[in-house]
């Protein structure tokens, strides 16, 4: 059984109540899935199988947390609402689920047998229509219009939304003047932040 020294250090620094919880989970994971790998992910102890995360543990000032990576599929339930862990605020070993070994085995089987469900892809967000005043300003500045049309849809949307979101006419007029100036120079809406 290979141990990740950073997890040893993490457990050693945890609050005294959390250490037995983290150690018990670690011991049970290695017992149920002997080929499990240890790693630190997001500064917390993680247990992986074939490079895929099975579960992550964490310790806080007043509770510990246990999260199965594919917990919703595993348990068919929503996460606990009182803490970040799927099993609520763990304050002692007695708070761990009675069927922990079974859950670990199911998580390993799930990890080996099926790819993680993909998030549904959404249709690309449609750009808002061009405000008539912006269209009129671009008609008088062909270089600016050409620059806008040469941008990818997301960069075009940045300008169109910025102008459409103006609540007052005076704000919209200022934004249109600024947009025409920047576009005439070939600049995207967020050009100030592109080389940061």
| pLDDT above 70: residue 77 | no
Residue range(s) defining the domain that contains residue 43: 5-113
Q: pLDDT of 134-158, one tens digit each?
A: 999 999 999 999 999 999 888 898 9
Share of the chain above pLDDT 70, in %: 83
Tokens representing residue 47 in the block: 């247990």
Q: What is the DSSP letter of 56?
A: E
In degrees and rounded to multiples of 5, residue 22 shows phi and psi of -65, -40
Asked if residue 142 and residue 92 are part of one domain, the reply reads: no
Q: Do 101 and 152 lie in a common domain?
A: no
In this structure, is residue 47 part of a structural domain? Answer: yes
* Residues 96, 47 share a domain: yes
- Tokens of residue 115, six digits: 């790819």
- Residue 41 lies inside a defined structural domain of this protein: yes
Q: Would you say residue 73 lies in a domain?
A: yes
Which residue, of 113, 144, 162, is where some domain finishes?
Answer: 113
* Cα distances (Å, whole numbers) of residue 74 to 24, 108, 148: 20, 10, 48
Indicate if the pLDDT at residue 183 is higher than 80: yes
Dihedral sign, CA of 112, 6, 40, 105?
Answer: positive
| 90-125 pLDDT, tens digit each | 788 888 888 888 888 888 888 788 665 566 666 666
CATH at 53: 3.90.1150.200
The answer to whether position 66 is within a domain reads yes
Average pLDDT of the chain is 82
pLDDT value for 196? 46
Specify whether 99 is located in the same domain as 150. Answer: no
More confident position, 71 or 33: 33
| 123: in domain | no
Per-residue model confidence (pLDDT) at position 194:
64
Which residues have a Cβ under 8 Å from the Cβ of 57 and sit 6 or more positions away?
Answer: 21, 22, 25, 26, 44, 45, 46, 64, 65, 66, 67
- Asked if residue 25 has pLDDT above 50, the reply is yes
What helix, strand, coil percent values describe the chain, rounded to 5? Answer: 50, 15, 40
Q: How many domains does the chain have?
A: 2
DSSP string of 2-41, one letter each residue: ---HHHHHHHHHS-TTHHHHHHHHHHHHHHH-TT-EEEEE
Residues 25 and 63 in one domain: yes
In a domain, 121, yes or no: no
Q: Which of 85, 113, 141 is the last residue of a domain?
A: 113
| Least confident interval from 118-132, 165-179, 181-195 | 118-132
Strands (E), the chain: 37-41, 44-49, 52-59, 64-68
The predicted pLDDT at position 82 comes to 47
């Amino acid at each position: 059984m290979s141990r990740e020294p950073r997890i040893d250090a993490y457990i050693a620094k945890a609050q005294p109540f959390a250490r037995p919880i983290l150690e018990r989970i670690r011991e049970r994971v290695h017992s149920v899935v002997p080929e499990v790998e240890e790693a630190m992910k997001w500064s917390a102890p993680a247990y992986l199988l074939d490079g895929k995360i099975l579960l992550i543990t964490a310790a806080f000032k007043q509770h510990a947390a246990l999260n199965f990576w594919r917990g919703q599929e595993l348990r068919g339930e929503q996460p606990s609402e009182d803490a970040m862990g799927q099993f609520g605020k763990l304050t002692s070993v007695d708070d761990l689920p009675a069927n922990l070994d079974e859950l670990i085995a199911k998580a390993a089987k799930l990890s080996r047998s099926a790819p993680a469900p993909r998030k549904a892809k959404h249709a690309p967000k449609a750009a808002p229509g061009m405000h008539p005043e912006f269209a009129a300003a671009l008609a008088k500045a062909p270089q600016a219009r050409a620059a806008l049309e040469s941008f990818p849809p997301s960069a075009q949307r940045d300008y169109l939304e910025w102008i459409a979101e103006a609540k007052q006419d005076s704000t919209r007029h200022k934004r249109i003047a600024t947009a025409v100036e920047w576009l005439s120079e070939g600049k995207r809406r967020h050009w100030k932040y592109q080389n940061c």
